[in-house]
Amino acid sequence: MKALHRIFRVLTCFPVVLSLLLCPLLPERIPAHYNLYGEVDRWGSRLEVLLLPLCCTAETAAGERGGELSGLSAEDRINLLCLRSAYPQIRAVESGPDGIWLRLEGERRVLYASAAELAAHPYDDATLLDREQRLARRLDPARMDVSLRASMHLPYLPDPERAATPLGYSPGRWRSYAFLKALYGADAATVRRGLGVTSLQGRKVRMSGAAVRALAAVDGRLREAVRQRPELKPWLVSAGGFLWRPIAGEQRLSPHSFGIAIDLSPQRAPYWRWARMERHPLQQSYDSEIVRAFEAEGFIWGGKWHEYDLMHFEYRPEIMAKARVLHQLETAGGSGLEGLPGGAERDGGTVASPHDLSGVGAAEGSNG
């Protein structure tokens, strides 16, 4: 029976994984609806191909384990689905009196969210796309080693969107170090054993597992772009991938320590502590073709953080998977929430656009 359950889980997740893999290969706009005569009467974003597989898989996942996860919000289910599609090492999601856990291969377990966190900060599905309300529920900037759930709280906007970055808005900069250590290793020696080597624009780069394969795909995307636009090449000089070290000015380990980050052309694209500017012009003007090539392969860009790191690209496929889902829901006008399992019933109110950050107050705390 357990073997059948495993096969069933793989089969139900397959459409999501396939959609995520094929989505970047589709045109930006695709036919979204045909009339009775077989004519296209609505065009939409290619991200619309993700919505149905995610909703169907969420419905199936909700029924697993006797319905133990059926009480979760739509957003928690999206988070868990994005995590499972991004990391095949996750074998199961388990619910218990102390919270929700991810079971990884090798019987390792990582906490997604404690019972106390789930009770103290329940997601309101009606505000799934409302970043103002997300920023109002502040994450502690002094404690950026957080649960997996909190690490996915702030929505990341894929290019070409470039939102304002008020204090408190740094999606992906909050990380679950327990999860990173379970995936890649808790010490430098263990991480090194999982490293691979690829190249970016002819320079060798060491990164971990899936990140090295994703970077090779980025290089393939950018090779043609550089041929057509040679002015991009000076922006693509690798300053290194894996390096076991703390974040500059902090005690937390850098994501470079886990082999999931690469820095490009630091002389051109500075870090906020060096630039000493609250906002940097490159946060808006940095070439979108570079950012989109990385985002298409599961990397996020540090230029979209308040504490900007303009040279920094970090392999966080779960963040990018969720970004695509939220973008799709917004494209659908928020109506897609009604079809998500666990989604709140809507009363006809509108969902605020995640792009609108006007009037957002600064969160308390200091940079870092």
Domains of the chain: 2-172+321-339 (no CATH), 180-315 (3.30.1380)
CB within 8 A of 39, min separation 6: which ones?
Answer: none
Handedness of CA 149, 151, 153, 157 (dihedral sign): negative
How far is the C-alpha of 334 from the C-alpha of 332, rounded, in Å? 6
Number of CB atoms found within 10 A of residue 15's CB: 16
**For 196-212, what is the mean pLDDT?**
95
Of 3 and 174, the structure prediction assigns the larger pLDDT to 174
- Lowest mean per-residue pLDDT among 17-21, 81-85, 245-249: 17-21
What tokens appear for 93 in the block?
A: 């999601």
Of 266 and 368, the structure prediction assigns the larger pLDDT to 266
Q: In 3-state terms, what secondary structure has residue 332?
A: coil
What is the crossing angle of helices 288-295 and 209-228, to 10°?
A: 150
**For 313-327, what is the mean pLDDT?**
92
Q: In 3-state terms, what secondary structure has residue 51?
A: helix
What is the structure's pLDDT at 136?
60
- Lowest mean per-residue pLDDT among 65-79, 223-237, 242-256, 260-274: 65-79
What is the structure's pLDDT at 63?
47
Q: Tens of pLDDT along 60-111?
A: 554 444 344 667 888 898 899 899 989 999 999 998 899 999 999 988 999 9
Closest CA to 287 of 234, 213, 353: 234
Q: Which amino acid would we find at residue 47?
A: L
The pLDDT-based confidence of 51 (bands split at 50, 70, 90) is low
Please report, for residues 81, 119, 134, 325, the alpha-carbon distance to residue 328 in angstroms, rounded to integers and kept in the order given: 15, 28, 19, 5
pLDDT > 70 fraction of the chain, expressed in percent and rounded: 70
What is the secondary structure of 189-254 as a DSSP string?
A: HHHHHTEEEEEETTEEEEEEHHHHHHHHHHHHHHHHHHHH-GGGGGG--B--S----BPTTSSSBP
Number of CB atoms found within 10 A of residue 250's CB: 11
Q: Tens of pLDDT along 101-154?
A: 999 998 899 999 999 988 887 777 666 666 666 666 656 656 778 899 999 988
What tokens appear for 312 in the block?
A: 């920094």
How far is the C-alpha of 21 from the C-alpha of 173, rounded, in Å? 25
**For 200-208, what is the mean pLDDT?**
95
What is the structure's pLDDT at 34?
56
pLDDT > 90 fraction of the chain, expressed in percent and rounded: 45
Residue 234 has pLDDT above 80, yes or no: yes
- pTM across the whole model: 0.74
Taking 3-state DSSP, the helix, strand and coil percentages for the chain, each rounded to the nearest 5, stand at: 45, 15, 40
Q: How would you class 53 by CB atoms within 10 Å of its CB: exposed for 0-12, middle for 13-18, buried for 19 or more?
A: buried
The pLDDT-based confidence of 251 (bands split at 50, 70, 90) is confident
Q: Does an H or E element contain 146, and which?
A: none
Beta bridge partners, 67, equal none
**For 304-314, what is the mean pLDDT?**
94
What tokens appear for 219 in the block?
A: 């290089």
Q: Is the peptide bond before 160 cis (omega within 30 degrees of 0)?
A: yes
The pLDDT-based confidence of 37 (bands split at 50, 70, 90) is very low
How far is the C-alpha of 344 from the C-alpha of 61, rounded, in Å? 18
**For 252-270, what is the mean pLDDT?**
94
How far is the C-alpha of 291 from the C-alpha of 293, rounded, in Å? 5
